[in-house]
């Protein structure tokens, strides 16, 4: 534990030694033999369990263990019992056949604090409030009609992206693909949620971006106190001040925005309310309407609204941006795939206008690229659930309060379902002997990039509108090369970073060159 100050390290060591002694005494003199049939498990140490077997890239560590011990294994991460699954048929048994058992999520303390003590949608326990929010997401907030209504916003943000990349290309400057995609997705989300995008002030935009990044990263940080019952409430890693500052900054921003909106709503009511104009309002207005509706099935509090908006920022920002970055890295690494994608776009769209969302249905190879990218690089590589009561999976007893991790990263590379699973081959989704007729909604358990079942990602439909169009525009308009190298050079760095989302260890930074005779109308 190098790097921790003595006032943190010494109490922890005392606790650890005491707990080890108690554990050994219980095991030696007082433990009752467990006759249940549990999943196979690697050798564990007292107290820490299997924590020593993990690495910063958790999904890869899980993959290594399930490769050795089988597709379903049991681990103890400190005091927490976990089951890891890496096979599609077992994932189906967990997420579909036993959906009523695995309907809750693990409750890491950092994420719970960020979401106002689970007042949000993503972390909320399964129950009436969660069901209400799920129905609200699927019908009003993220339903197809609402997403279609915000289509012009997404189209405008794609044009902004192309203009920005064009300016940098003409100046010979580098483009950080992931960072620019983060800007696009955050603009889309803020305009959908609150009717406003990033500030035109670059410094303020950077400040907001850093705030959101800090919130997301802190929520995903491994908190040692969560792993040991005897450390509950102890701030060993000194997260408290950072959490308070990050949530405080977000809270101040939201209070300002909500206060301004409430003032506008009061003024609007004074002059009469136009239902037709209301239909054009953003998601914040919809949430405020529901919070003021006395006949609503569930009362939304001010905290619920802020927590839900935090969810949208946290989940919506990464999913689209990371997928486009991984797809561009794969295409630069596979020039023949890039050429085929460009030929398809040139044939269907031409070069006199920018590709649109409505074109995507006529671009099957582009769709295959997105599917293949999500297979190899699922944004959330681990589906996390928590059992609410005992059940049996594949003949093994799974007790209540067990954390379940379904490793989508492993399943996407399962050799029983995918030919040459580590190879980037979009053609596998286009027909042929190893073709996979799959969609992204999680109905087929060998391919479920956004999870499956009751708690699958509600923002998947939004992501699948943003990703193909942004990717197509970057393919259509520009040639791409790494700094100091030739066009179509090989990208050798595909290393993954640790975290709840699947990021590149090093950002994709390229120099774009306009490939069209002239820029399309922007």
Binding residues for heme: 457
Strands (E), 211-370: none
Helical (H) or strand (E) element with 83: strand 80-85
Residues 322, 503: contact at Cβ < 8 Å?
A: yes
Q: How far is CA 129 from CA 125, 300, 394, in A?
A: 8, 9, 32
Which residues does 479 contact at the CB level (< 8 Å), separation at least 6? Answer: 487, 512, 513, 514, 515
Distance CA 196, CA 463 (A): 19
Tokens of 295: 């006949």
Helical (H) or strand (E) element with 478: strand 478-482
Residues 174, 305: contact at Cβ < 8 Å?
A: no
Helices (H) and strands (E) in the chain, counts: 17, 9
Edge-to-edge, what's the strand order for the sheet holding 175-176?
A: 175-176, 509-514, 478-482
Q: How far is CA 169 from CA 1, 57, 325, 326, 343, in A?
A: 46, 34, 18, 20, 22
Distance CA 513, CA 487 (A): 9
Supply the DSSP string of 8-24, one letter for each residue: HHHHHHHHHHHHHHHHH
Residues 378, 412: contact at Cβ < 8 Å?
A: yes
Known binding site: residues? 457
Angle at 471 between CA 465 and CA 477, to 5 degrees: 130
Best CA proximity match to 462, nearest among 130, 124, 217, 157: 157
- β-pairing, 403-407 vs 80-85, is parallel
Distance CA 192, CA 282 (A): 6
Distance CA 232, CA 236 (A): 10
Q: How far is CA 170 from CA 166, 184, 478, 487, in A?
A: 6, 20, 11, 16
Helical (H) or strand (E) element with 383: strand 382-386
Q: How far is CA 205 from CA 176, 197, 219, 365, 511, in A?
A: 16, 9, 21, 35, 23
């Amino acid at each position: 534990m190098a790097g921790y100050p003595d006032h943190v390290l010494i109490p922890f060591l005392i606790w650890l030694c005491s707990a080890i002694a108690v554990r050994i005494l219980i095991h030696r003199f007082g433990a009752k033999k467990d006759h249940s049939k549990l999943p196979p498990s690697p050798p564990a140490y007292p107290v820490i369990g299997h924590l020593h077997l993990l690495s910063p890239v958790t999904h890869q560590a899980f993959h290594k263990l399930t490769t050795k011990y089988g597709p379903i294994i049991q681990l103890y991460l400190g005091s927490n019992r976990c089951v890891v699954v890496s096979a599609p048929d077992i994932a189906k048994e967990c997420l579909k056949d036993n959906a009523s058992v695995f309907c809750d999520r693990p409750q890491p303390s950092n994420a719970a604090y960020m979401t106002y003590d689970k007042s949000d949608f993503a972390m909320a326990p399964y129950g009436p409030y969660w069901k209400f929010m799920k129905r609200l997401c699927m019908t009003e907030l993220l339903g197809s009609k609402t997403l279609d209504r915000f289509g012009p916003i997404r189209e405008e943000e794609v044009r902004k992206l192309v203009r920005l990349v064009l300016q940098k290309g003409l100046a010979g400057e580098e483009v950080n693909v992931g960072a620019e995609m983060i800007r696009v997705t955050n603009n889309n989300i803020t305009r959908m949620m609150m009717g406003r995008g990033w500030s035109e002030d670059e410094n303020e935009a950077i400040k907001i971006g850093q705030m959101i990044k800090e919130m997301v990263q802190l929520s995903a940080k491994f908190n040692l106190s969560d792993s040991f019952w005897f450390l509950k409430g102890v701030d060993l890693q000194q997260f408290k001040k950072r959490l308070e500052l990050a949530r405080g900054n977000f809270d101040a921003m939201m209070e300002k925005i909500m206060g301004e909106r409430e003032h506008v709503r009061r003024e609007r009511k004074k002059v009469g309310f136009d239902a037709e104009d209301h239909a054009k309002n953003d998601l914040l207005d919809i949430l405020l309407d529901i919070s003021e509706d006395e006949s609503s099935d569930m009362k939304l509090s001010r905290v619920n609204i802020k927590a839900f908006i935090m969810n949208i920022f946290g989940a919506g920002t990464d999913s689209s941006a990371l997928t486009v970055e991984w797809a561009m890295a794969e295409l630069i690494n596979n020039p023949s795939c890039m050429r085929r994608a460009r030929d398809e776009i040139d044939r269907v769209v031409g070069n006199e206008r920018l590709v649109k969302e409505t074109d995507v249905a006529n671009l099957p190879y582009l769709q295959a690229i997105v599917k293949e990218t999500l297979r190899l690089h699922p944004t959330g590589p681990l589906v996390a659930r928590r059992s609410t009561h005992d059940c049996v999976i594949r003949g093994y007893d799974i007790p209540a309060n067990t954390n379940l991790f379904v490793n989508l990263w492993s399943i996407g590379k399962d050799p029983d379902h995918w030919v040459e699973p580590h190879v980037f081959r979009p053609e596998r989704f286009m027909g042929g002997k190893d073709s996979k007729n799959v969609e992204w909604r999680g109905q087929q358990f060998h391919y479920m990039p956004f999870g499956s079942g009751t708690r699958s990602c509600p923002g998947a439909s939004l992501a699948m509108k943003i990703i193909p169009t942004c990717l197509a525009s970057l393919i259509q308009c520009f040639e791409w090369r790494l700094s100091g190298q030739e066009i179509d050079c090989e990208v050798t760095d595909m290393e993954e970073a640790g975290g709840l989302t699947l990021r590149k260890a090093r950002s994709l930074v390229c120099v774009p060159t306009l490939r069209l005779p002239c820029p399309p109308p922007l």
